[in-house]
């Protein structure tokens, strides 16, 4: 009699690997954008791959559909954090150029709104985000 073996997934370790990988990648993306003055959309795809692999690795190199959705979710949050940091920087720079004196980190809600408007106004950014989410989803899949 051949029974299917069930493997218990280690979701907590997957989170412990995926979340820091996403945050670190988002911060690096923001720093790269601020230093160069260019926002490279393909870096978002790299974030998706990195988070997907980190989740897969954290789960003991096992994958399933729940891990794939977890990876895509962490990727989305990480990409949004990176985009948020980039938007915050450019809004801050704009306010300083207008002669306003303000703290570097602005109020959260207006920056979030500007970030969402930016993604909606530039379809190529939305495309890169979509590809990045798929990359994160695909990397955490079960491998034969």
- pLDDT of 55-73, one tens digit each? 999 999 998 999 999 999 9
Kindly state whether residue 61 falls inside one of the protein's structural domains: yes
- For the chain, helix, strand, coil in percent to 5 are 75, 0, 25
Domain presence at residue 1: no
Residue 3 lies in a domain: no
Token pair, residue 32, equals 């790269």
* CB-CB contact of 20 with 77 (8 Å): no
Total domains in the chain come to 1
Report how far residue 136's alpha carbon sits from residue 49's, in angstroms, rounded to the nearest whole number.
5
144 lies in some domain: no
**Residue numbers of the domain that contains 113:** 11-139
Round to whole Å and give the CA distance between 88 and 107.
9
- Per-residue pLDDT for 1 more than 50? no
For residue range 81-97, list pLDDT tens digits in order.
999 999 999 989 998 99
Note the pTM of the prediction, 2 decimals.
0.87
Residue 126 lies in a domain: yes
In a domain? residue 65: yes
Q: Is residue 115 part of a domain?
A: yes
116 located within any domain: yes
- Of the two residues 10 and 50, the one the predictor is more confident about is 50
């Amino acid at each position: 009699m051949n029974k299917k073996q069930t493997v218990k997934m280690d979701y907590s370790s997957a989170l412990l690997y995926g979340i820091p990988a996403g945050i670190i990648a988002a911060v690096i993306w923001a720093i790269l954008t601020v230093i160069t003055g260019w926002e490279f959309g393909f870096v978002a795809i790299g974030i998706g791959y990195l988070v997907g692999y980190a989740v897969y690795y954290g789960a003991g190199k096992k994958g399933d559909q729940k891990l794939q959705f977890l990876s895509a979710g962490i990727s989305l949050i990480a990409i949004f954090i990176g985009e948020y940091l980039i938007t915050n920087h450019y809004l801050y720079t704009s306010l300083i150029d207008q002669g306003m004196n303000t703290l570097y980190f602005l109020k959260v809600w207006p920056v979030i709104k500007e970030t969402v408007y930016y993604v909606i106004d530039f379809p190529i950014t939305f495309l890169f985000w979509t590809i990045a989410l798929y990359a994160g989803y695909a990397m955490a899949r079960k491998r034969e």
